[in-house]
Amino acid sequence: MANAAHVKNLDEVNFYNSQQSWFAQQHYELNGFKVRVTIKRNAYDDQSSAIAQVLDAKTPKWNTIASIPHPQMKSNGSYVIKSLSATQQATFKQDILTLINKAKMLLA
């Protein structure tokens, strides 16, 4: 049986509104790798994205390792609102959790 992945939150989820989209971003340490998860929710589904990236310490560059297709994203929120409700924030956190679980499988 494989060892459980070691996941450490490096910061709190940062929610912000920019470029007519709502974003949620959080950084993790996962089995010694630095991982960044970014959710972008736009009024137009095809301009929304949910990605997990790992830092390549040699370059240093963020490389995408996992994503969620926009039809499967749980996050929602209109860019015209001033702040996200707790319920809306929870939908972004669902996508973050999905991406961290995908990253765990890839970086185990």
Using the predicted structure, report yes or no on whether residue 1 has a pLDDT greater than 50.
no
Looking at residue 25, its pLDDT comes to 98
Question: How far apart, in whole angstroms, are the C-alpha atoms of residue 60 and residue 58?
Answer: 5
pTM of the model: 0.89
**What is the tens place of the pLDDT at every residue in 6-27?**
888 889 999 999 888 999 999 9
Cα 46 to Cα 55, 73, 86: the distances in Å are 26, 11, 25
